[in-house]
A and B are shown apart, each in its own frame.
Chain A
Amino acid sequence: MSTGTSAAATVVSGVAAGHRVQVVAPRLLVSGQVVLREVDVEVHAGEAVGVVGPNGAGKSTLLRALAGLDGEPSVRWDLDLDSADGAIGGVVLVGHDPGLHPHLSLAENLRLAAALRAGSVLPVATALERVGLAGAAGRLAGRCSEGMLRRAGLARAWASGPALLLLDEPTAGLDAASRGLPAALVRSTTAAGGMVVVATHEPVAFDGVIDRWLHVSGGRVTSRQP
């Protein structure tokens, strides 16, 4: 179901109050190794949370747990989405691998992603245009550069208008002109009442859009002042 208008324009007060995601776990494992301990992270509607920490600390692991991808019985994952608002919904995770099949074109990849959800708030063509890839819409993903694929991943998020947006180091590989894209995406998602969690090595790029910061290191997730 496409609304035809940009997601940023629609904010209906009170509707977004129901959104909430929480993950509580005694430990988070990757391939049997302990990465994080005593995890308790909660995000509410309209909130943008930033995650910083050194390489290998567990930022991606935390994002995947928030996406509900960790099925360990000891991990409690609660996702409450207020489905009253039809314009936004669902979870989008844009990880290091943007999830595009190399033998499908950018547009085909995005259309498939849209077909797997209830629909999109933006037509695929508009989303690609927003990230500056309109001209490459028909190009096979395998022939696109890393930066182009990253932008296409952001376009996928834009088109979906998610209730929970998880971005894993979204500025990596982007050129100077598109460096502001992730922050704009965060802003439009929270404005529409969605929740955002961004893992980044460049907190500066998200100045003004992040409400609070989490620090991941030594196996722990702690709040910190920006």
Chain B
Amino acid sequence: MTRFRSTDALALVLLAVGFAAIVAAPTDALQGLLQRLMYAHVPAAWLAYLAFAVTLVASIGWLRTRRARWDHLAVGAVEVGVFFTGLALVLGSVWGKPVWGVWWTWDARLVTTALLFLVYLGYLALRRATEDPRARANRAAVLGIIAFVQVPIVHFSVVWWRTLHQPATVLRPGHPTMDHTMLAVLVVNVAAYTAVFITLLRRRIALARREEELERGRWSPTAPVAGDAVEAPLVEGEHRV
């Protein structure tokens, strides 16, 4: 087990504070208790996009410096990001059904989040499909950069599409103007979730670094090389010298 660090403690504390804030928050006039799901859904969505930005930075970092830490950061950000993206989608759905009567709305942000989820999954699938570590890092970084440039275009095209086809009721996952207390609760939870994100990311990177140290151990001058696994074959009746 990895050491319990101060960032872990901070994350737990913030989560606890955030949860308390959710409980203490004023009840929404329209949606009642269910509205509190927003305090989980919005931070999760925010982190989904933060992770995406981190992946871009890490991808560029890897291609420019070839230092393994950037690749670790990239895969960590995507793995944690895919979790928060999935969480955002599920919470949005659970929140939406009782409030608006549908499991899914074609709101531009939701659609983009869903597509981002698929992009993340594709990124992880690409990593799984590539065995050579260096090729894997290279290709994942290329995909990370291409995806980051394309997703805003995807979002813009969906927004444009929605403005042409205004739905009958305006369904937006958040109030345009929020009560100040609610806003404060939201901010606290965003901070809490970000702390959790950082904690998970650090642990994932530490894991990747350990894996790499294991690999590099094989690089030491005394470690066996690939050819050492091959010996002269046994011939019938003879003993190996």
A residues sitting closer than 8 Å to B (CB atoms) are 27, 29-37, 53-58, 72-73, 216-219
Give the contacting residue for A33; candidates B226, B230, B232; CB below 8 A: B226
Q: Note all chain A residues with C-beta closer than 8 A to B225.
A: 33-37, 58, 218-219
Q: Note all chain A residues with C-beta closer than 8 A to B133.
A: 31-32
Contact A37 B221 (CB under 8 A): yes
Contact A58 B227 (CB under 8 A): yes
Tell me which residues from 154 to 210 in chain B have a Cβ below 8 Å from any Cβ of chain A. Answer: none
Q: How many residues of B contact A (CB 8 A)?
A: 17
Q: Note all chain B residues with C-beta closer than 8 A to A53.
A: 227
Contact A54 B232 (CB under 8 A): yes
Q: Note all chain A residues with C-beta closer than 8 A to B215.
A: 32
Closest 6 CB pairs of A and B: A219-B225, A56-B230, A57-B227, A32-B133, A35-B226, A33-B226
Tell me which residues from 196 to 241 in chain B have a Cβ below 8 Å from any Cβ of chain A. Answer: 215, 218-219, 221, 223, 225-230, 232
Total inter-chain residue pairs, C-beta < 8 Å: 49
Q: Note all chain A residues with C-beta closer than 8 A to B223.
A: 34
21 A–B contact pairs at CB < 8 A?
A31-B133, A32-B132, A32-B134, A32-B215, A33-B218, A33-B225, A34-B218, A34-B225, A34-B226, A35-B225, A37-B221, A54-B230, A55-B230, A56-B226, A56-B227, A56-B230, A72-B134, A216-B227, A217-B227, A218-B227, A219-B227
Bound: A219/B219 CA distance, A = 11
Quick check: is B97 within 8 A (CB to CB) of the other chain? no
Q: Note all chain B residues with C-beta closer than 8 A to A55.
A: 230
Give the contacting residue for B226; candidates A30, A72, A73; CB below 8 A: A30
Q: Note all chain A residues with C-beta closer than 8 A to B219.
A: 27, 34
Q: Note all chain A residues with C-beta closer than 8 A to B232.
A: 54
Q: Note all chain B residues with C-beta closer than 8 A to A216.
A: 227
Q: Which residue of B lies closest to A38 (CB)?
A: B221
Q: Note all chain A residues with C-beta closer than 8 A to B230.
A: 54-57
Q: Note all chain B residues with C-beta closer than 8 A to A32.
A: 132-134, 215
Contact A56 B134 (CB under 8 A): no
Q: Which residue of B lies closest to A27 (CB)?
A: B219
Q: Which residue of A lies closest to B223 (CB)?
A: A34
Shortest Cβ gap from B34 to chain A (Å): 50
**When each residue 62-88 of chain B gets 1 if its CB lies under 8 Å from chain A and 0 otherwise, what string results?**
000010000000000000000000000
Q: Which residue of B lies closest to A55 (CB)?
A: B230
Shortest Cβ gap from B8 to chain A (Å): 31
Bound: A217/B229 CA distance, A = 11
Q: Which residue of A lies closest to B132 (CB)?
A: A31
Q: Specify which of A32, A57, A216 lies most central, judged by the most chain B CB atoms within 10 Å of its CB.
A: A32
Bound: A216/B229 CA distance, A = 14
Bound: A187/B218 CA distance, A = 40
Shortest Cβ gap from A214 to chain B (Å): 14
Bound: A4/B148 CA distance, A = 53
Q: Note all chain A residues with C-beta closer than 8 A to B227.
A: 35, 53-54, 56-58, 216-219
Q: Specify which of A31, A58, A73 lies most central, judged by the most chain B CB atoms within 10 Å of its CB.
A: A31
Bound: A106/B230 CA distance, A = 36
Shortest Cβ gap from A137 to chain B (Å): 36
Bound: A57/B227 CA distance, A = 4
Q: Note all chain B residues with C-beta closer than 8 A to A34.
A: 218-219, 223, 225-226
Q: Note all chain B residues with C-beta closer than 8 A to A57.
A: 227, 230
Shortest Cβ gap from B229 to chain A (Å): 7
Contact A56 B229 (CB under 8 A): yes
- Decide yes or no: A31 and B228 within 8 Å by CB, A37-B221, A73-B66 being known contacts: no
Q: Which residue of B lies closest to A35 (CB)?
A: B226
Shortest Cβ gap from A75 to chain B (Å): 11
Q: Which residue of B lies closest to A31 (CB)?
A: B132
Bound: A194/B232 CA distance, A = 35
Contact A58 B226 (CB under 8 A): yes
